[in-house]
Amino acid sequence: MATNASANVIRTGGGARFVIYTLLALFCIYYLLPLYVMVVNSLKPLSEIQAGGMMSLPHEWTLAPWRSAWSTAQIGVAATGLKPYFLNSILMVVPAVAISTVLGALNGYVLTKWRFTGDTVVFGLLLFGCFIPFQMVLIPMARMLGLMGLAGTVPGLIFVHLVYGIGFSTLYFRNYYQQFPTELVRAAMIDGAGFFTIFRRIMLPSSGPIAVVCIIWQFTNIWNDFLFGASFSDYDSQPMTVALNNLVQSSTGVKEYNVHFAGAIMAALPTLIVYIVAGRYFVRGLMAGSVKG
Amino acid sequence: MSMTATRRSGNDWLRDALPKIVLSPSLAIVLVFVYGFILFTFYLSFTDSRILPSYGLVGWQNYSRLFSVRAWGIAIDNLLIFGSLYIVICCVLGLALAILLDQKIRAEGFIRTIYLYPMALSFIVTGTAWKWFLDPGIGLQAVVRSWGWESFTFEWIKDSHMAIYTIVIAAVWQTSGFVMAMFLAGLRGIDNEVLKAAQIDGASNWSLYRRIVIPQLRPAFMSAFVVLAHMAIKSYDLVIALTGGGPGTATELPATFMYSYTFTRNQMGIGAASATIMLMSIAAIMVPYIWSELREKK
Amino acid sequence: MGFLDIKKATKSYGSVRVLHETDISVEEGEFLVLVGPSGCGKSTLLNMIAGLEEVTSGDIAIKGRSMNGVRPADRNIAMVFQSYALYPNMNVAQNMAFGLEMHGIPKPERDKAVAQVADLLQIQPLLDRKPGQLSGGQRQRVAMGRALVRDPDVFLFDEPLSNLDAKLRVDMRTEIKKLHQKLGTTIVYVTHDQIEALTLSTRIAVMFGGHVQQLGTPKEIYDNPANIFVAGFMGSPSMNLFPARVAVENGNAIARIDLADGAAASLPFPPGNAMAAHDGRDIVLGIRPEAITDEDGADRNSKAIHRIETRVEVTEPAGSDTFVVANLGGKEVTGRFRADVDVRPGNTFPFAVNMEKAVAFDPKTEQRIG
Ligand SMILES: Nc1ncnc2c1ncn2[C@@H]1O[C@H](COP(=O)(O)OP(=O)(O)OP(=O)(O)O)[C@@H](O)[C@H]1O
Ligand SMILES: [Mg+2]
């Protein structure tokens, strides 16, 4: 982020600074609390939680809840653990992110460097598609996937995420390429480069930062999706979020809270890791996606 | 027209059309799968569709039935309560944290990371964590009681009057850090010299913020409002994970209502009508916003 | 028919016409400068020659071949951009060779051409660097190198020097001129700097509001401006313009300028001047600052030096000369004095006006009369 603009000017006294730091620390606790709860309780036996020890560290440390959540817990009808669903999510996310990023880059390139009458309308149409409530497309999409023979399959989910991810990818690349000097494209045209050559040789080598932002955004969004997963998948094609919800909501037997917490962390880990490794780009993506259209 | 212009080969045509050809699959997909589907669902909302789409037109019947169903009334009331609290609290908290963080804080980057990480989580994960943390049997209430305060009670999540507020708590936890980041970016964009000038004029810190800084955050407020309102209307996952819409129908929101009416209660016509109303309300917020953003860019 | 022919070319964006019917014919080896204030359509015309903008109507032909519908790459032109437009991810050598590569020239030939041009421009040490590692002047050279390597029919320059600092700008100006003289290439060069236009060109097209106001050699443009716009735009400080009336005495024309106090100053045109045919006509009289001097600095060869006394308001020493601002008939007049003349603001001082250099315009049409 940029420099501390207002802070350079506004000075606060020692007493005030103590209050500020205390408040900031309290909010750190607030934001970290649920994570703490998830982690410590995923490492203790169920009996400790039932005895009202949710906030304390485990007396007896155990990895059993993790093992159970991963490979043996009852999900829906089968006691498979979350592992197959984790794989489903990976199989779904990777192609969906890759394809939508490539399409978004090409679209952004056309919309900024090969402008034509009505291009803003096209972009507006793509953009509004990002923000519709997906309830509006659930019914026809279910039928369409059936017609295409993709109902209840991972490829079907990939397709759905692709369709509703293009808008954001295009938004990112368009806004980025808009800043890219058009004179470079013109110079390349005069040099004799065609549409794809310019894209590959001139635009792509400078697109690293926005590609990272776009990939992170799409990855997070698609990994975290629940609605499409719940609507369009079968038992064997469910993504992680749906499986986690099934695990937690299952009404049979004792509630194994420690297993639920372990499962929740598993579902959260991929996006958390991305956030921690590439937090800067993650924030930029959030801002670009929601603040500046 | 000159000779060469009329003698253009198919190759030239292809070359000129290439950009549009590249764009067309995306446009076609969006036209069919967004706008075509919107029209389809809109059409269904005027039909007698039940478990499957059916094409007998029934006029406005689905809409009048929708507004007479108790669950929809609850969903709308809940959305108003949840939406307004969610937006207001996120904005107030986000702004406060942004201002606190903007005071040359050591480890600012670290603290920002902590405030923002919930945004990376799935609402299902957030819902699961808060569901058990707020559960009277094992969560906060049980913990406080085990510490010796035997009469401590916190059962909102089981209380049909209060359950909607637990959704506000979890949703605020997830999003307020992001709103903070938006305001922080806004604060960082304010011109230093204006502040210096005001300080020379003798403004106190408090009046500096109230009179000069916060008014300049208008665009950030606008963006935060649009993002939060849009998220509120679309809220689905969190409710499913946290309360499942219960107790009873106490935490029903339009999104959960649509889903259950369409897919579990086989009232597709009514479901489509409710989806249409959701779309209208989002469009009312997003269309002017997108419009103004695209016009500015020209 | 010339080497590069612009025939009745127009350009419209929607209903807005930004370039009106333009006819320019450029001979091989000419250095044509398009000059004019911002927004007058210079870049638009240049981009039309390059093929980056379509021609709305009319035609542009290079070597007699119509360029309508011909891709920029197939016009055998090269262009140097204001921002240089060097590809940031390629090094200097790759930048220069890119156009050849796109035209399918084999690598050994490309390397040879690059080496030759690098030698010519003395940029061999830079060949391995990325554009980000170059100074502004170096980037400028590389951009020119990239154009030269292509050995095109026509070079197009769009304000290539405007991003350089003043000193470098003058150096590069000289260098471009030398290159042109050495290589004898055909150049179309856009600038809004009239000094660049005058020093570099073999011909100048002065543009304003989408019209070519005047097309001619630098000397024609400077000495015989076609209208008030050209007169005012070319030359620095710009030409003095004041309303006057023509009177004829003994067959010779005199420009009479009403002064504030009701009197009138008289400036006789040289004997036999054609203005004698315009007795009584209102005109706008134009005299360049260098034609208004101190008496000893006046042009000895001129037969129409006229002396006029007026009060000095401001003096602006500029090193080699001193510009003296005086008040004549309520209008400011700038004269150019030798630097060592002792003029002080507030004093009345004799000015020598060289009426051989005076021009007259119609106040309504703003066109040249004589
Ligand atoms: N794409 C466009 N759509 C509409 N009007 C345009 C477009 N491009 C240029 N114009 C208009 O055409 C006119 C000429 O523009 P041009 O770029 O040729 O000016 P210029 O003489 O090069 O000016 P400058 O010295 O500022 O570069 C301007 O008034 C400009 O606003
Ligand atoms: Mg220009």
pLDDT of residue C304: 81
pLDDT at A290 over 60: no
Lowest-confidence segment of A24-38, B71-85, B133-147 by average pLDDT: B133-147
Check residue B146 and give its pLDDT.
82
Strand C31-35 relative to strand C186-191, pairing:
parallel
Phi/psi of residue A235, nearest 5 degrees: -55, -35
Average pLDDT over residues B214-243: 87
For residue C40, give the ligand 1 atom closest to its CA: 21
Q: What is the pLDDT of residue A293?
A: 34
Chain C residue closest in CA terms to B9: C69
Instruction: Give percent helix, percent strand, percent coil of chain A, each to the nearest 5.
Output: 75, 0, 25
**pLDDT of the residue at A59:** 84
Output the domain CATH number for residue B279: 1.10.3720.10
Average pLDDT over residues A216-238: 91
Q: Is residue B24 part of a domain?
A: no
C260 CB burial (10 A radius; 0-12, 13-18, 19+):
exposed
Residue with the bigger pLDDT between B9 and B112: it is B112
pLDDT of residue C57: 92
Contact C39 CB / ligand 1 (< 6 Å):
yes
ipTM of model: 0.88
| Any domain includes B27 | no
pLDDT of residue A258: 87
- Where in the sequence is the domain holding B139, given as residue range(s)? 69-297
Q: Distance (Å, rounded) from C-alpha B82 to C-alpha B253?
A: 9
| Confidence (pLDDT) at B1 | 35
Mean pLDDT of C114-119: 93
Q: Which domains does chain C have, with CATH numbers?
A: 4-233 (3.40.50.300), 240-361 (2.40.50.140)
What was the pLDDT predicted at A95? 96
Contact C35, C192 (CB under 8 A): yes
pLDDT of residue B91: 94
pLDDT band at A289 (very low <50, low <70, confident <90, very high): low
Select from C44, C55, C82, C213 the residue to mutate for testing ligand 1; criterion: most ligand atoms less than 8 Å from CB.
C44
Which residues in A lie closer than 8 A to residue B272 (C-beta atoms)? 139
- Tens digit of pLDDT for each residue in C158-178? 999 988 888 888 988 999 999
* Mean pLDDT computed over C298-303: 81
Q: What pLDDT was estimated at residue A4?
A: 46
B26: in domain? no
Cβ–Cβ < 8 Å for C324, C288: no
Percent helix / strand / coil, chain C, rounded to 5: 30, 35, 35
pLDDT bin (cut points 50, 70, 90) of residue C155 is very high
| Per-residue pLDDT at A199 exceeds 70 | yes
Task: Report pLDDT digits (tens) over B105-146.
Answer: 888 888 988 998 998 899 999 998 998 888 888 888 888 888
- With cut-offs at 50, 70 and 90, classify the pLDDT of residue C218: very high
Average pLDDT over residues C275-280: 84
- Name the range with the highest mean pLDDT among A54-68, A248-262, C95-109, C254-268: C95-109
In order of start, what are the domains of chain A with their CATH numbers? 2-64 (no CATH), 78-288 (1.10.3720.10)
In the structure, what pLDDT confidence band is assigned to residue B83 with cuts at 50, 70 and 90?
Answer: very high
Position A1 confidence tier, pLDDT thresholds 50, 70, 90: very low
Query: Which tens digits make up the pLDDT trace of C357-367?
Result: 889 999 999 99
Instruction: Mention every residue, 6+ apart, whose C-beta is less than 8 A from residue C2.
Output: C25, C26, C27, C28
Range in A220-224, B7-11, B92-96 with the lowest mean pLDDT: B7-11
- Say if B265 is an interface residue toward chain A (CB within 8 Å): no
pLDDT tens by residue, C89-100: 999 999 999 999
> According to the model, what pLDDT value does residue B8 have?
52
pLDDT the model gives residue A288: 66
Confidence of residue C78 (pLDDT cuts 50, 70, 90): very high
User: Which of A64-73, B201-210, C299-308 is predicted with the least confidence, judged by mean pLDDT?
Assistant: B201-210
Distance, in Å, from the CA atom of B250 to the CA atom of B164, rounded to the nearest integer, reads: 7
Q: Is C13 in the pocket of ligand 1 (CB under 6 A)?
A: yes
* Confidence at residue B286, expressed as pLDDT on a 0 to 100 scale: 85
Least trusted range by pLDDT, from A191-200, A248-257, B231-240: A248-257
- Residues A110-151: pLDDT tens digits? 999 999 888 889 998 998 888 888 988 988 999 899 999 988
C44 lines ligand 1 (CB under 6 A): yes
Cα separation, A70 vs A82, in Å, equals 5
Residue B5: inside a domain: no
Per-residue tokens: A98: 């890759």
pLDDT over threshold 80, residue A52: no
- How much is the average pLDDT of C13-24? 92
Structure tokens at C364: 């309504």
Residue whose CB lies within 8 A of the most ligand 1 atoms, among C10, C12, C16, C18, for a mutation test: C18
Residues 95-154 on A with a CB inside 8 Å of B are: 103, 106-107, 110-111, 114, 116, 120, 122-129, 131-141, 143-144
Calpha distance C359→C225 (Å, rounded): 8
Ligand 1 neighbour C11 (Cβ under 6 A): no
Interface of C with A in 103-142 (CB under 8 A): 103
| CA angle, C198 then C204 then C206, to 5° | 105
Query: Total domain count for chain B?
Result: 1
pLDDT band at A12 (very low <50, low <70, confident <90, very high): low
CB C31 within 8 A of CB C51: no
Q: Residues near A284 by Cβ (< 8 Å), separated by ≥ 6?
A: A213
Q: Answer whether residue B194 is part of any domain.
A: yes
Do B229 and B99 contact (CB within 8 A), yes or no?
no
Average pLDDT, chain A: 87
Which pLDDT value is given to residue A2?
A: 40
